[in-house]
């Protein structure tokens, strides 16, 4: 007589869809998503981004339509990134301080039309500089930390005055979170959140994003003197600790899938809200895989987003947000 099978059969709970649902350890819903959107000048404009199939730049009126779409899909927050015309890009990024720039007009329009949708705004100078760097340069081309931080404070206040709900510094300057937090408090923006890009790596996955904001070809050199070395993990924990001490409400790891180990370590060490940015290169790879017939788009989208949640994310910035929300509904 054959020996009895061990009492524990782990496949029992996988045997039916209802049971798999009941025993799922991780849940993904539209409320976990933040939808990044690109803004351009004009009215009634949609400009497809060639390197990001399915992603477009939108004029402010069409951004409002996307805000209504996000609301109807249950997506709680959208993130804005401007494509600043080249004639308004300068070495000092002064357009970032213009209260009537693309970003501020889009913020005001969204908060007027769909105030129930959160608006996250990027704080960095690369969409505004003629040289494509995130800050001000010295004569040798080195990004100046403290002088850049002073401009970032003005940029953050400019966005907060327009109605931004979450200020998200993505520049990786030392000390900028504390400076922005102090300025927001001084001006009475006590409920303006800061989501710090705390562990933002100098990655090869950002190329299509630079197309979308119009900075491709402008950048001289690279961003390795301020964005993180992708060989480092302990340094990410030091960056997160500094930003939290300076007043960040939440932190971000960017890019996403290649850095799930960083997400997990940050979550376990600090027990704070951690977000990930599924960046343009990650999105483009999924789209290319689907277009080549190498993978099912819907399955790839949901599986990768679930991986972020499983690793410890409170939410994910993803260009697939609207598509994913429809799938999850």
Tell me if residue 165 falls in helix, strand or coil. Answer: coil
The conformation of residue 26, written as its DSSP 8-state character, comes to -
Measured distance CA(130)–CA(8) in Å, rounded: 64
Crossing angle of the two packed helices 297-311 and 321-328, in degrees rounded to 10: 90
Q: Determine the Cα–Cα distance for residues 265 and 312; give it in Å rounded to an integer.
A: 9
* Contact of 302 with 327, CB cutoff 8 Å: yes
254 catalytic? Reply is yes
Of the residues 200, 223, 267, 309, which is catalytic?
200
Known active-site residue 309: no
Q: Are 273 and 249 in contact (CB under 8 A)?
A: yes
152, containing H or E segment: helix 145-162
Catalytic annotation, pick one of 111, 223, 254, 267: 254
**Segment holding 28, helix H or strand E:** none
Residue 280 is encoded by which pair of tokens? Answer: 């343009």
**Which residues are identified as catalytic?**
200, 254
């Amino acid at each position: 007589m054959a020996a009895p099978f061990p009492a524990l059969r782990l496949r029992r709970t996988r045997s039916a869809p209802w049971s798999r649902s009941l025993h799922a350890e991780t849940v993904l819903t539209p409320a976990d998503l933040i939808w990044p959107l690109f803004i351009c000048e004009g009215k009634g404009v949609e400009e497809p981004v060639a390197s990001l199939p399915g992603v477009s730049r939108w004029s402010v009126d069409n951004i409002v339509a996307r805000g209504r779409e996000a609301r109807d899909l249950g997506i709680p927050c959208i993130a804005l990134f401007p494509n600043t015309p080249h004639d308004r890009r300068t070495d000092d990024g002064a357009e970032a301080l213009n209260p009537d720039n693309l970003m501020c007009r889009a913020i005001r329009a969204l908060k007027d039309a769909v105030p129930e949708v959160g608006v996250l705004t990027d704080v960095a100078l690369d969409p505004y500089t003629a040289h494509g760097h995130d800050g001000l340069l010295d004569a040798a081309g080195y990004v100046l930390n403290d002088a850049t931080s002073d401009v970032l404070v003005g940029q953050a206040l400019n966005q907060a005055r327009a109605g931004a709900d979450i200020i998200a510094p993505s520049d990786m300057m030392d000390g900028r979170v504390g400076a922005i937090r102090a300025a927001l408090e001084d001006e009475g923006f006590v409920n303006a959140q800061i989501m710090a890009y705390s562990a933002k790596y100098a990655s090869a996955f950002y190329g299509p994003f630079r197309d979308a904001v119009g900075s491709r070809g402008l950048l001289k050199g690279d961003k390795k003197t301020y964005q993180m070395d992708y060989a480092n993990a302990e340094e990410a924990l030091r960056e997160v600790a500094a930003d939290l001490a300076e007043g960040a409400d939440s932190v971000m790891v960017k890019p996403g899938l290649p850095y799930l180990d960083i997400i997990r370590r940050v979550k376990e060490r600090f027990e704070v809200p951690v977000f990930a940015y599924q960046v343009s290169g990650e999105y483009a790879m999924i789209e290319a895989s689907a277009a080549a017939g190498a993978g099912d788009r819907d399955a790839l989208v949901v599986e990768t987003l679930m991986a972020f949640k499983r690793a410890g994310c409170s939410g994910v910035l993803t260009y697939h947000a609207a598509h994913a929300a429809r799938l999850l509904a």
